[in-house]
Structure 1
């Protein structure tokens, strides 16, 4: 057997089966009944005992802001290359520890920051190879007119440097339609995906975006589209139909406001995920801001984003988890992951038996990227004394907290 082979023994799958899973060369080599893939006599095979764990396709983070992460406390954050690399690395590793083996971070370019933050993200991307896939969205502010001339040049340079997607907030530009035309043109020229921030509270503007997006060859994601929840139901439903027809993915951000919202967090009731999903729009979910000025308490945990979607009734637990796993990966242009032979070995194991249980209480995690365990988190709770017995008693046992 190859030296890189790893066998996961005894995990439960979401469909209730208990299996062994063999990994090799970064992919799932086989899925079999317990004990069928690598017996005690097999040599050169590493094993991870996942009895009592639920094995799932790994989540992904489709909408992070690593360059501003972890800056909520203290003085204004440093913008030096060293400080930026440190923040981006810490944020990416926090996301990875929660299970996000693929991440897309929106990075400010142009104006005073130039390409400094993007350069830092691309350096961290190289340093994290083998641990996580990190992609960048280049995000300028104004692009149109004389005021946007320099930013247009910077955005072109960002595409040449390796930004995998071009984005920004057209609604904040004096000419939103012109902003969109520039981004679409550069994306087509350089083979980039498009990932735009919009509140989507203007049906006509959203319809134009959907129409233009249909011509993009490399994928279009928009979010959080929370403004749709402010529109009359029939108007919002028509907008959702247009997005579905154009193949646009909507990335909702249930954990809190995003740093691109122009201040104020949108003033809406959140992304109407159920309405969008019913229309056939692929709905992904991300974390957005991570403990910065826009959201001082962000966790960067995809399972919390799924938990909030499920707990608010926006999606059922399985659909909520798909929003942070399969549909999030698709939004990043990555291949699907299924726990079947031949699929990428991008996996997350959590304590528990069901997806709903994992979303409720999943602190202990094993994260697998390219067939290799890259992170482990273990959580145990200990009780002191016996409830109702002031004298102490025998105490209670330690308890896994998920």
Structure 2
């Protein structure tokens, strides 16, 4: 079984980590390189063996500061663009989902570590506010975020239920309090409000007041509503994200194309959820990613539900999302991986990552030598956040007993092959 062991974060006041040397990694362009990390960034990239033994200051790299990546493909780390931290890992619970703060904090922490083990060093977590849970679930997720500092970067989206009518006044007050408490993004689901346009107006107003990004959840297949939402959101800075937009897949192609053009003109990012979404069974369509990309819309991909009532078998694995985009939606492996890495980071407002000097040291090493193979079968992974190895997953495949293996011409048991 894969064994993922995130390392503990450094205690407060600890001196900066020494330089770390990643040796013999393969890049997607076919080169085999050494990569030196320091100060949370990539200091240098050179041909294999050229950086061995020294840091940027010319001093020797001490023991324990090397990681052998022979046989691994080195990539920019993925980011998780859409997850639900307050309900994650609740599918097996008896009865309704518990929003008790201690339960939410435990589940949110465990879910983030699971996703970190898959490679996601940054996550955007949607959290319901108001109604029965008030601000308790948000407080719990923010506490989980603090406990994960140094391992993964977690941002939170405050998701109120109703923002219009008589009940809307309470929802608006709670949304503003959520931002004051520490929610980084304002969002929600206009589809469940009696006045979807009014809901969006309220969210955009709060976002404008607070200088926050917006992340709205919609699966509507009403092109007029999506067009109006795009027009309302257009020009808002620091930007608007919509997801999962599965309703676009149910529209005629010409109608969906016009809507995609309107989304592109508004500068809206779409986060699709190819692993099954986070709504009811009727909302499991994946947005038409090829059509959106052709229109110029930035398309990122997220995991959505992680083993909750919406998807009790959700894995929270960005590489699975990329695999599905390539295998079911026609994207090239490079385009599919971009959706869970570069485009996902851009949707979260994070700086770009490349395996080049000067870029943030947010990296994922997967066993294999080509991206297509990594997306189809990548169990062994090494995750780097802020220049430190924070998680390792190691898998070994073993075959049958010695006699049968000999008969079949297979390696004997105990001589497993890493995957």
Specify the TM-score bucket, using the shorter chain as the normaliser: over 0.9
Aligned residues: 397
How do 1:219-368 and structure 2 match up within 5 A? Answer: 219-258=239-278, 261=279, 263-266=280-283, 268=285, 270-368=286-384
How far did residue 44 of structure 1 move? 3.0
Is 1:307–1:320's contact at 8 Å kept on the other side of the alignment?
yes
Of residues 62, 71, 74 in structure 2, which corresponds to 1:44? 62
Aligned to 2:133, the other structure's residue is in SS state coil
How far did residue 74 of structure 1 move? 2.9
Aligned to 1:118, the other structure's residue is in SS state helix
Aligned to 1:344, the other structure's residue is in SS state coil
Is 1:380–1:398's contact at 8 Å kept on the other side of the alignment?
no
Q: For the residues of structure 1 that align with 2:32 and 2:150, how far apart are their CA atoms?
A: 28
Q: For the residues of structure 2 that align with 1:219 and 1:349, how far apart are their CA atoms?
A: 31
Which digits, 9 at most, give the CA deviation of each residue in 1:40-81, with x for residues without a partner?
Answer: 892436110001100000000010011101111131333211
How far did residue 387 of structure 1 move? 3.9
Of residues 124, 145, 159 in structure 1, which corresponds to 2:144? 124
Is 1:272–1:314's contact at 8 Å kept on the other side of the alignment?
no
Q: For the residues of structure 1 that align with 2:407 and 2:365, how far apart are their CA atoms?
A: 39
Of residues 385, 388, 399 in structure 2, which corresponds to 1:372? 388
Aligned to 1:112, the other structure's residue is in SS state helix
How far did residue 389 of structure 1 move? 5.9
Q: For the residues of structure 2 that align with 1:184 and 1:393, how far apart are their CA atoms?
A: 61
Q: TM-score scaled to structure 1, two decimals?
A: 0.95
Of residues 19, 24, 44 in structure 2, which corresponds to 1:30? 44
Q: For the residues of structure 2 that align with 1:337 and 1:93, how far apart are their CA atoms?
A: 21
Residue in 2 that maps onto 1:74: 93
Select between 384-393 and 7-16 the one with higher mean Cα deviation: 384-393
Is 1:11–1:55's contact at 8 Å kept on the other side of the alignment?
yes
1:154 aligns with 2:174: yes
Aligned to 2:364, the other structure's residue is in SS state strand
Which digits, 9 at most, give the CA deviation of each residue in 1:164-211, with x for residues without a partner?
Answer: 111111111100000000000000101111001111411111111111
Aligned to 1:196, the other structure's residue is in SS state strand
Aligned to 1:342, the other structure's residue is in SS state coil
Change (3 A) 1:201 1:3: closer
Q: For the residues of structure 1 that align with 2:18 and 2:61, how far apart are their CA atoms?
A: 12
Q: For the residues of structure 1 that align with 2:27 and 2:267, how far apart are their CA atoms?
A: 30
Is 1:3–1:44's contact at 8 Å kept on the other side of the alignment?
no
Give the RMSD, CA atoms, in angstroms: 1.9
Q: For the residues of structure 1 that align with 2:408 and 2:143, how far apart are their CA atoms?
A: 58
Change (3 A) 1:37 1:393: closer
Q: For the residues of structure 2 that align with 1:146 and 1:158, how far apart are their CA atoms?
A: 20
Aligned to 1:350, the other structure's residue is in SS state strand
How far did residue 393 of structure 1 move? 10
Is 1:257–1:265's contact at 8 Å kept on the other side of the alignment?
no
Q: For the residues of structure 1 that align with 2:277 and 2:296, how far apart are their CA atoms?
A: 25
Gaps of 5+ in 2: 1-15
Q: For the residues of structure 2 that align with 1:150 and 1:186, how far apart are their CA atoms?
A: 14
Q: For the residues of structure 2 that align with 1:239 and 1:369, how far apart are their CA atoms?
A: 37
Select between 236-245 and 39-48 the one with higher mean Cα deviation: 39-48
How do 1:383-398 and structure 2 match up within 5 A? Answer: 383-385=399-401, 386-387=403-404, 395-396=412-413, 398=415
Aligned to 1:135, the other structure's residue is in SS state strand
Which digits, 9 at most, give the CA deviation of each residue in 1:223-268, with x for residues without a partner?
Answer: 111111111111111111111111111000011131xx3x334264
Is 1:108–1:139's contact at 8 Å kept on the other side of the alignment?
yes
1:211 aligns with 2:231: yes
Q: TM-score scaled to structure 2, two decimals?
A: 0.91
Residue in 2 that maps onto 1:57: 76
Residue in 2 that maps onto 1:4: 18
How far did residue 39 of structure 1 move? 3.0
How far did residue 397 of structure 1 move? 5.5
Aligned to 1:7, the other structure's residue is in SS state strand
